[in-house]
Amino acid sequence: MTTPLRLGIAGLGTVGVGVVKIIRQKANLLAARTGRPIVITAVSARSRDKDRGVNLADYAWEDDPVDLAKRDDIDVFVELMGGHEGPAKDATEAAIAAGKDVITANKALLAIHGQALAEAAEAKGCVIRFEAAVAGGIPVVKSLTEGLAGNDITRVMGVMNGTCNYILTRMQDAGLPYDEVFAEADALGYLEADPNLDVGGIDAGHKLSLLSSIAFGTKVAFDGVELEGIQRISIEDINQAADLGYRIKLLGVAQLTGRGLEQRMTPCLVPADSPLGQLTGGTNMVVLEGDAVEQIVLRGPGAGEGPTASAVMGDVCDVARGLRISTFGVPVGALESTQPAQSNSPAPFYLRMALLDRPGALAKVATVLGEFGISIDRMRQGQHDGSEAPVLIVTHKTQRSALNEAIAAMSSTGVLASDPVALRIENV
Ligand code: HSE
């Protein structure tokens, strides 16, 4: 008789319920694939009485996830609560202290406390697996740690927040302003409880920092991610970008360069006909580049019951099979500390501004750009709106820091009617 793998599941929201359903419905298949039964011993959630549409009567109930984490009759603590402090952190730490393996979908927890948790897990001989934390149903962690293990990873890119991609593509397709589409996304239940996690780029930044660590063997450095949300993207930007042959995406890019670790999660223009440009709705896409494989593109649902439970189950099956990979792909002591890249790689930029419509205003802007070594590739002035003239400039390659300095200098010339919008152009 083979020994079952016994799970304690904390959190019975969308993902937790999805995991329970798969384990109940596919018991034979899972046992055949892993060589042992996978069983749920106990569960924990905020409300015991809520009808979740699944039968939980076979499982012990714990009100406190910390008590669940410490139970002698579980081998794996499955953390599906979320949040980087409070019960999720306390229970994960308790599970590791009790020698349990941990499977989590919690990107915030790992982005902020991943190093300490990985150290604790390694000291106890436990594993932490987190496929569901990054890009929902896309097995990107597995791709990096296993399928691409023979590569030096050179770059990781992607769209990793489905809500932002939904908002940006809906604005484009329906010609609707940001606020209206944001309200729609809210009504559809797409937004995190704190919407800034989505539209502020934080959720996607957490995910990128985890992928960077695995890709480059570096300590998780969420603090080093250059973050910018999509809140300032207007329908005008969407339309101007489309006219230029681009789409606007909240794009993550990570690469280890001679200047340090470059990690950015910012709205960018990408070619409309590129795989990233064609990504619509809540779908995610991750592009992985390695010296041997060259480039692979993974595309799939970034959230939702089935896709996220699918990712959790991949980890459950790996643990059941006895696969024990270090949290971030190499032993925690081998993870390197890196400096954030002092200056990001140069790129062309899209610069939209409203100028006060007076003689010499445009000349002043052009002069300031020249003073900061920024060369103009294309420029056009749109229909005047009262006393303001909308101006769009596409620069030649420059560094974001130089552009920021130029924008600050423009502000002091008194010709700007509002803050310019500057977006990197990634010709991916
Ligand atoms: N809020 C996330 C997204 C889902 O929209 O992609 C899980 O991270």
Mean pLDDT of the chain: 96
pLDDT tier at 387, thresholds 50, 70, 90? confident
Residue 137 near ligand 1, beta carbon < 6 Å = no
Q: Which H or E run contains 421?
A: strand 421-425
User: Which residue among 110, 163, 312 is best mutated to probe the pocket of ligand 1, counting the most ligand atoms within 8 A of its Cβ?
Assistant: 163
Q: Does residue 311 fall inside a structural domain?
A: no
- Do residue 71 and residue 168 come from a single domain? no
**From the CB of residue 174, how many other CB atoms can be counted at a distance below 10 Å?**
12
Residue 199 near ligand 1, beta carbon < 6 Å = no
pLDDT of residue 206: 98
Total domains in the chain come to: 3
pLDDT of residue 210: 98
Helix (H, G, I), strand (E, B) or coil at 9: strand
> How far, in Å, from the CA of 197 to the mean position of ligand 1?
9
Q: Does residue 154 fall inside a structural domain?
A: yes
Q: Which of 95, 114, 133 is where one domain is finished?
A: 133
pLDDT at 1 over 70: no
Tokens of 266: 């910012």
Query: Is 207 a residue of the active site?
Result: yes
Q: Which domain holds residue 292?
A: 140-302+325-341
pLDDT of residue 106: 98
Q: Does residue 297 fall inside a structural domain?
A: yes
pLDDT (tens digit per residue) in 225-252: 999 999 999 999 999 999 999 999 999 9
pLDDT tier at 97, thresholds 50, 70, 90? very high
- Do residue 82 and residue 9 come from a single domain? yes
- Do residue 353 and residue 421 come from a single domain? yes
> How far, in Å, from the CA of 413 to the mean position of ligand 1?
41
- Do residue 333 and residue 421 come from a single domain? no
- Do residue 216 and residue 336 come from a single domain? yes
Q: Does residue 309 fall inside a structural domain?
A: no
Q: Which of 133, 159, 193 is where one domain is finished?
A: 133
Q: Residue 268: which CATH number?
A: 3.30.360.10
Q: Does residue 404 fall inside a structural domain?
A: yes
pLDDT (tens digit per residue) in 282-311: 999 999 999 999 999 999 999 999 999 999
pLDDT tier at 52, thresholds 50, 70, 90? very high
> How far, in Å, from the CA of 283 to the mean position of ligand 1?
10
Q: Which of 283, 311, 341 is where one domain is finished?
A: 341
Residue 192 near ligand 1, beta carbon < 6 Å = yes
> How far, in Å, from the CA of 304 to the mean position of ligand 1?
9
pLDDT at 223 over 80: yes
Q: Does residue 10 fall inside a structural domain?
A: yes
Ligand 1 atom closest to Cα of residue 303: 4
Closest CA to 263 of 208, 310, 317: 208
Q: Does residue 307 fall inside a structural domain?
A: no
pLDDT (tens digit per residue) in 99-110: 999 999 999 999
- Do residue 74 and residue 50 come from a single domain? yes
- Do residue 105 and residue 154 come from a single domain? no
pTM for the predicted model, two decimal places: 0.95
Closest residue by CA, ligand 1 atom 4: 303
pLDDT (tens digit per residue) in 348-371: 999 999 999 888 999 999 999 999
Closest CA to 397 of 348, 329, 342: 348
Helix (H, G, I), strand (E, B) or coil at 416: strand
Which residue out of 207, 219, 364, 397 is catalytically annotated? 207
pLDDT tier at 382, thresholds 50, 70, 90? confident
- Do residue 38 and residue 162 come from a single domain? no
Q: Does residue 318 fall inside a structural domain?
A: no
Q: Residue 407: which CATH number?
A: 3.30.70.260
Residue 165 near ligand 1, beta carbon < 6 Å = no
